[in-house]
């Protein structure tokens, strides 16, 4: 059953065509161990059991570089002392980037502290560090039972109604900047998402061009766009604006609404916030996102964890607003990425977008 192979070192090539019957046939594995020789020996043992591609890393830094260089991983193996006291955070970071790929922790001798850290980091298993047979068995089991894949029981159940989310913004690109990653992530989760932009943004460029860009941007995030025609710079906080918003609320019947915060220096943003509060008085959940013009009084208390692909999609949606990107300081990609990275500290993930809860009257399971 096990194939013979020559001993490889470092980042490796597959030794020969994998045996389709081997326990790890075709799998792509990333092995982190504080000792390079142990990592290489572990990798070799996994290769002989059919793994198609095994890459090794002898430090968390090497691990991250390898992790993001290849991106498509079926499973990771991580020595319990590899990330030191940061083991749980290290494992969580792995899950954030590879939600369908389990991670197995290896250890020299049982330790309650490390077991707790591995458990908190949702490790699939804890196995002895120098026992390739136990590791291969555990890896084969974990690959057959991925942590987040739909199980048979849920596959048989009727598909739940998608959550309906409405994201309201004053101008083209407001929503992308503030919640583009959240929209992409939830669209990926199957949510039904509408973006309502109240002004075509005549004050910031050619309206026809901005209109085309806005549609492209919404589409790239996985949302549909409703673009209204209120005057850029003088959106009013009155019943006429409320009625415009109510129209889309009635059409989309949202479970959840995202909108500008009242803590914002832009008068249009505040007017949209206040009118939306009125128009969405029956919506169970209303949260406020952070615009570049938000003030220090903006105080988020909910954080949407973003994956690398959500951040990439957010940046792509902003690039779709080509006429703005060159002239606006707040559209610089390093600022957008580092802002998401900053908020990640509150979400136990690498990246996040913040929300301020205005109303949350729904059962928690629909979050
Ligand atoms: Zn705006």
Q: Are 296 and 265 in contact (CB under 8 A)?
A: no
Residue at 5 is within a domain: no
**What pLDDT is attached to residue 324?**
62
| Dist. CA 243–CA 40, nearest whole Å | 66
Between the CA of 194 and the centroid of ligand 1 the distance, in Å, is: 17
- Residue 321 has what pLDDT? 82
Calculate how far, in angstroms, residue 152's C-alpha sits from the geometric centre of ligand 1: 45
The domain boundary, picked from 149, 176, 200, lies at 149
* Domain limit, last residue, from 104, 125, 149: 149
Measure the CA–CA gap between 312 and 231, rounded to whole angstroms: 31
- Ligand 1 centre to CA of 324 (Å) is 12
CATH of the domain at 92: 3.40.50.2300
Axis crossing angle, helix 267-279 with helix 239-252, rounded to the nearest 10: 60
CA of 172 to the centre of ligand 1 (A): 7
Q: Of 40, 35, 34, give the one whose Cα is nearest residue 5.
A: 40
Which residues sit opposite 111 in a β-bridge? Answer: none
Q: Output the pLDDT for position 121.
A: 87
Per the structure, the complete domain to which residue 224 belongs is given by 164-366
Sign of CA dihedral 317, 319, 322, 328: positive
Question: How high is the pLDDT of residue 205?
Answer: 67
Where are the strands (E) in 149-242, listed by range? 164-169, 192-197, 224-227
Q: Which of 192, 139, 140, 201 is closest to 166 using CA atoms?
A: 192
Distance 236 CA to ligand 1 centre (A): 14
162-181 per-position pLDDT tens digit: 899 999 999 988 999 999 99
What distance in angstroms lies between residue 232's CA and the mean position of ligand 1's atoms? 9
Distance, CA 174 to ligand 1 centroid (Å)?
5
Check pLDDT > 70 for residue 5: no
Neighbours of 164 (CB within 10 A): 16
Mean per-residue pLDDT over the chain, rounded: 85
Same domain? 258 vs 283: yes
Q: What percent of the chain has pLDDT over 70?
A: 86
What is the predicted pLDDT for the residue at 151?
45
- pLDDT class for 204, splitting at 50, 70, 90? low
Domain-located, residue 8: no
Residue 170 CA to ligand 1 centre (angstroms): 5
Beta strands in 22-99 (DSSP E): 28-32, 53-57, 75-79
| Beta strand 302-306 pairing with 351-360 | antiparallel
173 and 111, same structural domain?
Answer: no
Q: How confident is the model over 75-107, as pLDDT tens digits?
A: 899 998 888 888 888 888 888 877 888 999 999
> In terms of DSSP bridges, do strands 285-288 and 351-360 run parallel, antiparallel, or are they unpaired?
antiparallel
Q: Is the pLDDT of residue 7 over 60?
A: no
Distance (Å, whole) CA 44 – CA 70: 19
> Which of residues 81, 114, 149 is at a domain's end?
149
Centre of ligand 1 from the C-alpha of residue 299, in Å: 19
Separation of first and last alpha carbons in the chain: 47
Residue 356 CA to residue 340 CA, distance in Å, equals 15
pLDDT tens, position by position, 10-49: 444 444 444 456 778 878 889 999 998 999 888 888 888 8
Highest mean pLDDT among 55-59, 207-211, 291-295: 291-295
Q: Does a structural domain hold residue 2?
A: no
d(CA 266, CA 304) in angstroms, rounded, equals 24
Cα 197 to middle of ligand 1, angstroms: 9
Q: What number is the average pLDDT over the span 210-228? A: 91
CATH classification at residue 211: 3.40.50.10320
Which two three-digit tokens encode residue 72?
A: 């498509």
Asked if the structure places residue 172 within a domain, the reply is yes
Looking at per-residue confidence, does 148 or 343 come out higher?
343
Q: How far is the CA of 171 from the centre of ligand 1 (A)?
A: 5
Q: What pLDDT, on the 0 to 100 scale, is given for residue 72? A: 77
15 inside domain: no
| Residue 95: both structure tokens together | 């899950």
Gap from CA of 82 to ligand 1 centroid (Å): 45
Confidence category of residue 235, pLDDT binned at 50, 70, 90: very high
Residue 225 — pLDDT band, cuts 50, 70, 90?
very high
Picking from 250, 269, 289, 285, the residue whose alpha carbon sits closest to that of residue 359 is 285
Which pLDDT does position 2 carry in this prediction? 38
Q: Are residues 357 and 217 in the same domain?
A: yes
Q: What is the distance in A from the centroid of ligand 1 to the CA of 202? A: 12
Q: Is 361 exposed, middle or buried (0-12, 13-18, 19+ CB in 10 A)?
A: exposed
Assign 274 a pLDDT band (cuts: 50, 70, 90): very high
What is the rounded average pLDDT of the residues 225-239? 95
């Amino acid at each position: 059953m096990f194939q013979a192979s020559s001993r490889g070192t470092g980042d490796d090539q597959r030794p020969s065509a994998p045996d389709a019957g081997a326990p790890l046939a075709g799998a792509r594995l990333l092995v982190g161990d504080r000792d390079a020789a142990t990592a290489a020996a572990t990798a070799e043992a996994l290769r002989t059991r059919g793994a198609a591609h095994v890459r090794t890393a002898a430090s968390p830094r090497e691990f991250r570089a390898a992790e993001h260089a290849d991106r498509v991983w079926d499973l990771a193996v991580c020595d319990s002392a590899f990330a030191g006291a940061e083991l749980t955070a290290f494992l969580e970071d792995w899950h954030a980037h590879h939600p369908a790929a389990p991670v197995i922790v290896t250890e020299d001798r049982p330790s309650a502290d490390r077991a707790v850290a591995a458990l908190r980091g949702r490790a699939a298993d804890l196995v002895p560090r120098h026992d390739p047979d136990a590791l291969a068995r555990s890896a084969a089991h974990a690959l057959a039972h991925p942590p987040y894949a739909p199980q048979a029981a849920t596959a048989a159940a009727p598909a739940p109604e998608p959550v309906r989310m409405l994201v309201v913004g004053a101008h083209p690109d407001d929503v992308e900047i503030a919640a583009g990653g959240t929209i992409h992530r939830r669209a990926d989760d199957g949510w039904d998402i509408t973006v309502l932009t109240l002004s075509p943004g005549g004050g910031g460029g050619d309206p026809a061009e901005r209109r085309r860009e806005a549609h492209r941007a919404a589409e790239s995030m996985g949302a549909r766009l409703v673009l209204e025609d209120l005057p850029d710079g003088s959106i009013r906080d009155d019943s006429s604006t409320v009625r415009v918003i109510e129209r889309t609320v009635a059409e989309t019947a949202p479970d959840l609404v995202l909108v500008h915060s009242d803590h914002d220096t832009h008068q249009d943003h505040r007017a949209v916030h206040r009118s939306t509060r009125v128009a969405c008085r029956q919506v169970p959940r209303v949260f406020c996102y952070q615009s570049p013009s938000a003030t220090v009084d903006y105080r988020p208390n909910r954080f949407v964890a973003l994956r690398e692909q959500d951040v990439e999609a957010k940046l792509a949606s902003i690039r779709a607003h080509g006429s703005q990107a060159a002239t606006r300081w707040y559209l610089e990609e390093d600022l957008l990425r580092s802002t998401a990275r900053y908020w990640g500290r509150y979400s136990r993930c690498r990246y996040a977008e913040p929300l301020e809860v205005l109303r949350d009257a729904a059962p928690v399971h629909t979050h």
